[in-house]
Amino acid sequence: MLFKRQYVPAVISGVMLIGGLAMSFSGAGFFTGIIPLYWYAFAYMLVGGPVLLRAGRELARLDFANEFFLMSVATLGAFIIGEYAEAVAVMLFYEVGELFQENAVSRARGNIKALLDVRPAQATVRRENQWIVVKPEEVLPGESLLIKQGEKIPLDGELNSDRAILNTSAITGESKPTSVYRGEKVLAGSINLEGVVEAEVTATFSNSSLSRILDMVEKANQRKAPTERFMRRFARYYTPGVMAMALMVTFLPWIFVEVYQFEEWVYRAFVFLVIACPCALYISIPLGYFGGIGAASKNGILFKGADYLDRLRNLHSILIDKTGTLTRGTFSVRKFKPVEFDREELLKLVAALESHSNHPVARAIVDYTGINSGDARTGEVREHSAMGITGTVNGHKLLAGNNKLMDKNKVRVLPETGSIPFTCIHVAVDNRYAGYFVLADEIKEDSRQAIEKLRRLGVKDISILSGDKDTITLAIASELSIDHAHGDLLPEEKAGIVKEYVSRNEGVVAFAGDGVNDAPSIAEADVGIAMGAMGSDLAIETADVVIQTDQPSRIATAVQVSRETSRIVWQNIWLVFVIKALFLGLGAMGIAGMWEAVFADMGVALAAIFNAIRIQRKKFN
């Protein structure tokens, strides 16, 4: 039914226009006198009625500086001078342009619709020691969910099962299945790919990540880009100016031409008005930005408004948080060096000792060894806060920890470890130094690619801001070939550096981060970017752009989308102005008639629309 309501009036009007022209050219005897007027008037009202009503409402508010008033004057004038078919054609082509625009917008909303489609309809929750099915809106934080294979996770939560394999593509845009382990976050809208898992709800349905994403997308197009706002202001002067020029086309020739025919010059004035109608701009510019927002969301990037989409194209400097943005925020062993001990034997001893600890460093070392130490004999295991762990393994006294633990037990460490910028865990066996592990925050897979892409895009300054140790921050920056790095920063110090960059007025400054402590810096930047999939709620709420995939390379993709959108918008602006300027001159000289005016107006509008929707098909690398 929606299809019929949208298209039937245009189809009927088009058939009547073609039929009327055919009867006129064939010289049908009955199609004379007042009949053509009624015939074309009916065809005109089918497509022009809504435009006339809109023009009337705007006029009642004393606003005649709009395209509806301009089109109404031009087409009603065409009726007055007997050019019925041309008047219908103007409104029909305008309606066709509107329908093309709606189709293009629908295509841009395709990815958004996919988000809507992943909203789960039900949730299986444990109540009174049994599983019952309820609406997701009725589930409260703290309750347990059961998610079967192939089902969507209805709310955000933490995994209670040992492991789950999830398809998070609808939320993050990442097509690769994601493994999640006990205690880790699971997001509403993700699909469970394997087995039956349980999760504990951490947020209500209205506060879930999926609901926040949908809310951001729905609000995104409400914030207009500077180009859109300029065109609205431009129309305030353009429409009165065009009306004044049309009056001059009508009456000025009376002074200069020898034989002045009022009807001829009125006709030229109406042709002039039809050509001057700015429909193409009003249609194609917002469509270009909406298409850009749609293309970005397809790539796992959410812009909270066209304003930020437009602003990011001039990115000059980007300041990036380290932990959770460029790095995973989890330890991994980068180096292991035994000293006068057999490598494999030492790894077995350390794995047995560290397996008794849940500390991230201990877990990273156990993962690195890959050894099942279940048959080892351990005893007297004790963790020492901020130092390490001690115990006996197979009759040997083991120490594993930092310099403080070694100093306490009077074990000398290798001098070379003093220059290592990362976390160094020393090992001693029976109070004799046995070797060390070097651990560091793991760099994300595409962080290097992200920096390279940003450089290729001409970003002048790339810097890391981190609360981590300055030596570690500098080392990560060196590995990624980043210009500057600042460590040991408090949240307010981070924000101060961002503010200082903005005050230089060298170009747009962006900040990308994921934590609560990044929110002040995100707010200070010209464009604040949050790593959304695992980022804090505060960072996501504060940001102007949300990267759903947690991939830093998508920041560069966002810049690419921004620049491509701007390029297409300005292509359309120049296309419209050049063609209209040409035909305005031809119309005023009487070379272009009403039919040429129709095609000059709506032809260029359709061309601009087709150009605008190209961005939705473009692939960004």
Active site residues: 321
SS3 250: helix
Nearest-angstrom CA–CA distance, 353 and 401: 11
Which strands, in side-by-side order, build the sheet including 197-201? 130-134, 123-127, 144-147, 197-201, 157-159, 185-186
How far is Cα 103 from Cα 380, in angstroms, rounded to an integer? 71
Cα separation, 565 vs 289, in Å, equals: 6
Q: How many residues does the chain have?
A: 621
Cβ distance 600 to 275 under 8 Å? yes
Per-position b or e across 145-162, b if 16+ CB within 10 A of its CB: bbbeeebbbbbbbebbbe
C-alpha to C-alpha distance for 171 and 185, rounded to whole angstroms? 13
543 torsion bin: left (phi>0), alpha (psi -120 to 50), beta (else)? beta
Task: Give the Cβ contact number of residue 117 at 10 Å.
Answer: 10
CA–CA distance, 427 with 388 (Å, rounded to integer) = 10
* Structure token pair of residue 492: 């307010």
Question: Do 521 and 506 contact (CB within 8 A), yes or no?
Answer: no
Instruction: Determine what percent of the chain falls in helix, strand and coil, rounding each to the nearest 5.
Output: 55, 20, 25
Tell me how many degrees the CA angle 15-20-23 measures, rounded to the nearest 5. Answer: 125
Burial 510-532 (b: 16+ CB within 10 A, else e): bbbbbbebbbbbbbbbbbbbbbb
Write the CA distances from 95 to 40, 47, 91, 98, 602, integer angstroms: 16, 6, 6, 5, 9
Instruction: Kindly give, in sequence order, each residue whose CB lies less than 8 Å from that of residue 161, ignoring residues fewer than 6 positions away.
Output: 182, 195, 197, 198, 199
DSSP letter assigned to residue 502: H
Q: Give helix then strand counts, H and E, for the chain.
A: 24, 22
* Structural tokens at position 276: 């001057």
User: What residues contact 451, with CB distance under 8 A and at least 6 apart?
Assistant: 462, 480, 481, 482
For residue 121, give the nearest of 108, 100, 137 by alpha carbon: 137
d(Cα 562, Cα 354) in Å, to the nearest integer?
A: 49
Which two tokens mark 224? 């207009």
Q: What is the largest CA-CA distance in the chain?
A: 120
Distance of CA 372 to the CA centre of its chain: 44
